[in-house]
């Protein structure tokens, strides 16, 4: 079986490793990939989405796995182009990927199908936003498009709201687009991942990511400074409630709206005092949740994804470890506002009791260097949470580079 994984970050490194460890022993390729990923998934000669489709056809690729979201909505859409070329794709077509690409589309979907979510109003000007906020703080402002995790501001007061609105409407930091003014919810967050195949689904191990840059959930939002995953993260009763109130109505809604879906769907949930509510959908696995979850997946993930892309949900092909997994992100100087490339990384080879996934590195003169905001993800597992926390942080301690930023409270639950 030949599988091509689309993406280049730590999530894709983890996916590629999990696929490589599948008993069906697939031959792996990656696009655009990274030097670390190329060690297990060979590069292609493709330069863009269209040449990638041609390359996959020419090279007899049996399955395309979408790691990163951007290709799902680029041009005609990765999955749409795969379908036309007769290549099974694990990842949804462009029309369904609007659930992630457009927050307004997602909100309308949630409202239409009575799925619990925060109230929201879409606006297209700064004045419209001010009127929708109506002096009620805190408020949540969301740019209606892909913004690499930077398009959301939880604003405690008018000054912070005006700063974000000026970035969007005056400086056009994210390009053209509308803004959702949303009711601010409270409660712990949890990430639920469902593998959806048409009208059926399988829930993977729940996870929690740590979005804020600093200890104790302080500082700016980031793409994620770490994650913890375990089936024990939420109670069986709560998981049942999430299935009946959120996952099943979503799967039914996709069917009713004629939105085909085969792939991972990520439910970003907030556990509010009145029950779980949807904060966001992402049409892919989470990053860094994927790095924490993949080591817990047993069985044949490659065969599972191929069967799913062909329209057969086969839960019997995989199972999930009962234990805990903790992922600690090592970020470069300046992250999340900026990032610094070229700092020499030492100690990766000293990590033997944990997995190290590469999010943003490059090899120069035989040495790994930083090459992005999030640089490495160090992941360790254990039967209990404390064991996984200790092992992941002990492994992370072995790695260093100038400007390294890391949270030492990853895996310690704040709820």
- Which window, 41-49, 163-171, 176-184, 317-325, contacts ligand AMP (CB under 6 A)? 176-184
- Pick what 279 binds: ligand AMP, ligand GLY, none; C-beta below 5 to 8 Å, kind-dependent: ligand AMP
- Binders of ligand GLY among residues 208 to 247 (CB under 6 A) are 209, 224
Tokens standing for residue 63 = 């399955």
Of the residues 65, 185, 271, 307, which one makes contact with ligand AMP according to CB under 6 A = 185
- CB 71, min distance to ligand AMP, A: 19
Nearer to ligand AMP, 161 or 399 (CB): 161
Nearer to ligand AMP, 184 or 344 (CB): 184
* 175 CB burial (10 A radius; 0-12, 13-18, 19+): exposed
Nearer to ligand GLY, 63 or 146 (CB): 146
- Binders of ligand AMP among residues 198 to 227 (CB under 6 A) are 211, 221
Beta partners for residue 209, in sequence order: 227
3-state secondary structure of 19: helix
Nearer to ligand AMP, 103 or 355 (CB): 103
- Pick what 203 binds: ligand GLY, ligand AMP, none; C-beta below 5 to 8 Å, kind-dependent: none
Going residue by residue from 148 to 187, which x/- string records binding to ligand GLY, judged by CB under 6 A?
A: -x--------------------------------------
What is the rounded radius of gyration, in angstroms, for the C-alpha atoms of the chain? 20
Contact assessment for residue 8 and residue 313, using Cβ atoms and an 8 Å cutoff: no
Of the residues 280, 287, 289, 300, which one makes contact with ligand AMP according to CB under 6 A = 280
User: Any residues with CB less than 8 A from the CB of 139 and at least 6 apart, and which?
Assistant: 133, 155, 161, 181, 182, 183, 184
- Which window, 161-169, 174-182, 286-294, 372-380, contacts ligand GLY (CB under 6 A)? 286-294
* 225 CB burial (10 A radius; 0-12, 13-18, 19+): buried
Contact assessment for residue 241 and residue 276, using Cβ atoms and an 8 Å cutoff: yes
Contact assessment for residue 19 and residue 6, using Cβ atoms and an 8 Å cutoff: no
Instruction: Count Cα atoms within 13 angstroms, Cβ side, for 76.
Output: 10
Of the residues 30, 282, 361, 370, which one makes contact with ligand GLY according to CB under 6 A = 282
Element (H, E) at 378: strand 374-382
- Which window, 25-33, 172-180, 282-290, 309-317, contacts ligand GLY (CB under 6 A)? 282-290
Rounded CA gap, 78 and 101, in Å?
Answer: 14
3-state secondary structure of 292: helix
The answer to whether residue 154 forms part of the interface with ligand AMP (CB under 6 A) is yes
Size of the site for ligand GLY (CB under 6 A): 7
- Pick what 347 binds: ligand GLY, ligand AMP, none; C-beta below 5 to 8 Å, kind-dependent: none
64's torsion region: left (phi>0), alpha (psi -120 to 50) or beta?
beta
Q: What is the binding site for ligand GLY (CB under 6 A)?
A: 149, 209, 224, 282, 286-287, 289
Which residues bind to ligand AMP, rule: CB under 6 A?
118, 140, 142, 152, 154, 182-185, 189, 211, 221, 268, 279-280
């Amino acid at each position: 079986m030949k599988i091509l994984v689309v993406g280049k970050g730590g999530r894709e490194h983890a996916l590629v490793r999990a696929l490589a460890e599948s008993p069906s022993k697939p031959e792996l390729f990656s696009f655009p990939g990274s030097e670390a990923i190329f060690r297990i998934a060979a590069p292609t000669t493709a330069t863009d989405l269209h040449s990638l489709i041609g390359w996959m056809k020419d090279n007899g690729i049996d399955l395309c796995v979408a790691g990163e979201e951007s290709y799902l909505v680029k041009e005609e859409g990765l999955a749409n182009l795969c379908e036309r070329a007769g290549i099974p794709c694990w990842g949804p077509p462009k029309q369904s990927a609007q659930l992630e690409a457009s927050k307004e589309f997602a909100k309308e979907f949630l409202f239409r199908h009575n799925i619990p979510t925060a109230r929201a109003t879409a606006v297209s000007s700064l004045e419209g936003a001010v009127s929708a906020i109506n002096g009620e703080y805190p408020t949540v402002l969301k740019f209606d498009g892909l913004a690499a995790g930077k398009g959301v501001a939880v604003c405690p007061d008018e000054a912070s709201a005006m700063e974000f609105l000026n970035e969007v409407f005056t400086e056009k930091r994210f390009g053209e687009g509308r803004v959702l003014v949303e009711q601010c919810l409270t409660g712990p967050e949890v990430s639920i991942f469902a593998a959806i195949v048409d009208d059926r689904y399988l829930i993977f191990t729940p996870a929690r990511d740590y979005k804020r840059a600093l200890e104790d959930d302080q500082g700016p939002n980031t793409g994620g400074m770490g994650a913890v995953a375990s089936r024990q993260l939420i109670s069986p009763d709560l998981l049942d409630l999430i299935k009946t109130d959120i996952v099943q109505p979503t799967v039914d809604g996709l069917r009713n709206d004629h939105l085909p879906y085969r792939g991972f769907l990520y439910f970003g949930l907030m556990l509010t005092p009145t029950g779980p509510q949807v904060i966001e959908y992402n049409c892919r696995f989470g990053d860094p949740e994927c790095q924490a979850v993949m080591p817990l997946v047993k069985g044949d993930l490659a065969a599972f994804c191929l069967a799913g892309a062909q329209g057969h949900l086969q839960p019997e092909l995989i199972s999930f470890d009962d234990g805990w997994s903790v992922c600690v992100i090592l970020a470069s100087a300046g992250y999340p506002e900026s990032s610094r490339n070229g700092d020499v990384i030492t100690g990766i080879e000293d990590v033997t009791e944990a997995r190290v996934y590469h999010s943003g590195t490059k090899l120069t003169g035989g040495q790994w260097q930083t090459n992005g905001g999030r640089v490495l993800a160090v992941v360790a597992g254990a039967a209990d949470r404390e064991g996984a926390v200790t092992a992941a942080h002990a492994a992370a301690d072995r790695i260093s580079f100038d400007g390294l930023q890391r949270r030492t409270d990853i895996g310690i639950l704040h709820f």
